[in-house]
Amino acid sequence: MISLKDLIRNDLPGNFNEAYNLYKRKELVLCNLNGIIVPPYEVLIHPSSYCNLTCQWCIGEHIHVESSDDIEPHFIPKKNEHILPNILHDESALLAVVENILSYKKTVKTVIDGIQIDKAFSVENFSFSGITGEPLVAKKSLISAIRKITSEGKRTGMFTNGLKISSDCCDVLSRLSYINISVDAGSNSTYNKLKCSGRKSQKSDLDKVFSNIYLLNQFKTLNATSLDINCSCILYPENYREIYTLASKLKELGVSNLRLKKDIYGEKVLNEIERKECLELIERVKCDLEDSSFKLIVVHDLNNKKEQLQDFSSCLISKMMAAVGSDGMLYPCNYHPRPNGYALGNLVENSLEDIWESQFRANIDKQLPCICPSVCDPFKTRSNRLFDILENEYKTNDPKLIHEFLHESETIFGGKLK
């Protein structure tokens, strides 16, 4: 008999785990497995295609302009045809997108394989991020959008490099559900090398990131909010030895967890010696620093080179999550927003419901994952592998499998994980 535990990353908690949707959103999974269209549970929005850093692992092409003491450093796209237009820099455009997402609500009453479903579906989570851009480059429109979404009680988060966090926006940011700040280094020299085009000057933005984290934590305390302040680090040969130093510093600053990731584009990976040394450091961090207030989460399995293989036949996770590019267009996921990408419709001008339930989206969906980029994040890949098994086994050979998996997910996650 197939066991759910044998198919998943058992070391990953809650929202990081591919099986969590079986526990948290079983009605959503059942509807999608059986061809019933319902709103996605999460929409990722890219407010800007411009960035103020030049990280080595970013797919955006940029030219760095050094700053003086009174001029903020800025980065100019090398070729505008490689990035999307910034329609969402306009406050009214981003707010229109938010309204068109919030308006999509759908109630489903049915019975699937003996399981009663009576559920009002809507988008539960909003996440602001970017594939070539930094969300806070579009600070004015972004802050207005966050105010609107959080006032509706939706779970809202943001991925940022942290440089543009400031006192004028911390009150709003402190009311997010979570914020993930990509730090990626424990020293100024490494930060400059990996995130600032190898800048040779002694000037580094790392200390500014640390001070902004401290500032944000002050606002969190002042407003008595439940904001999770998280940080991440892409593991490179240049920085993996600094993860203990980084973890210690972040814990002092009140960070909830440090997430370790690999470069999913594979340009730089740890060799065998580096990988073993990194794993030893990870164990040191867990042993010395982890407690109820701070956790180290290894998002990408360093021992499994096949974790990112797209060895699934369909992309069911794209029926549950979607992305909006800085051009205001809806895309199948957050790896698709790019010039000449597979846009599903204009979300500034149209409702999410009209786009999501259109025949055009259905036609694009049939082409996934064949038309997907060559890389995908491990969570989506692992989710699709699990859903493939459910589709192939449960629908053809073992109708009881879905009941067994749902019951096992309750055993794994029930009452102990967020």
Given a contact cutoff of 8 angstroms between Cβ atoms, the answer to whether 276 and 314 are in contact is no
pLDDT of residue 60: 52
pLDDT in tens, 285-295: 999 999 999 99
Number of H helices, E strands in the chain: 13, 14
Question: Is residue 320 in some structural domain?
Answer: yes
Looking up tokens 């961090």 gives: 285
pLDDT in tens, 168-191: 999 999 999 999 999 999 999 999
What is the average per-residue pLDDT within 129-143? 95
pLDDT in tens, 140-160: 999 999 999 999 999 999 999
Question: Is residue 132 in some structural domain?
Answer: yes
Would the pLDDT of 201 be above 80? no
What is the average per-residue pLDDT within 322-332? 97
Question: Is residue 363 in some structural domain?
Answer: yes
Average pLDDT over the chain reads 90
Could you count the other beta carbons within 10 Å of the beta carbon of residue 270?
Answer: 18
Whole-number Cα distances in Å, 242 to 57, 141, 173, 217, 337: 18, 36, 28, 23, 33
**Interior/surface letters 195-210, b for 16+ CB within 10 angstroms, e for the rest:** bbbebeeebbbbeebb
- For 114, residues 6+ apart whose C-beta sits below 8 A from its C-beta are 403
3-state helix vs strand vs coil in the chain, percent to 5: 40, 20, 45
Question: Is residue 418 in some structural domain?
Answer: no
Question: Is residue 175 in some structural domain?
Answer: yes
Would the pLDDT of 222 be above 60? yes
Q: What is the CATH number of the domain that holds 250?
A: 3.20.20.70
Work out the percent of the chain whose per-residue pLDDT is above 90. 74
Total structural domains within the chain:
1
pLDDT in tens, 1-18: 789 999 999 999 999 999
pLDDT of residue 404: 92
Using alpha carbons, select from 271, 344, 264 the residue that is nearest to residue 310.
Answer: 264
Would the pLDDT of 311 be above 50? yes
CA 214-219-225 angle, 5° bins: 120
Amino acid at residue number 156: T
Given a contact cutoff of 8 angstroms between Cβ atoms, the answer to whether 46 and 337 are in contact is yes
Would the pLDDT of 96 be above 60? yes
Cα-Cα-Cα-Cα dihedral sign, residues 258, 264, 268, 272:
positive
Work out the percent of the chain whose per-residue pLDDT is above 70. 92
Identify each DSSP E strand in 303-399 by its residue range.
321-324, 329-331, 345-346
Which H/E stretch holds residue 64? strand 62-65
Host domain of residue 239: 4-413
Question: Is residue 299 in some structural domain?
Answer: yes
Question: Is residue 254 in some structural domain?
Answer: yes
pLDDT of residue 71: 35
| Cα dihedral 155, 158, 162, 168 in deg (nearest 10) | -60
Question: Is residue 266 in some structural domain?
Answer: yes
Global pTM? 0.92
Residue 59 binned pLDDT confidence (cut-offs 50, 70, 90): low
pLDDT of residue 57: 77
Would the pLDDT of 41 be above 50? yes
pLDDT of residue 64: 37
pLDDT of residue 134: 95
Would the pLDDT of 372 be above 50? yes
Q: In angstroms, rounded to a whole number, what is the distance separating the alpha carbons of residues 230 and 15?
A: 14
Which of 21-25, 68-72, 110-114, 360-364 shows the lowest mean pLDDT across its residues?
A: 68-72
What is the average per-residue pLDDT within 322-347? 94
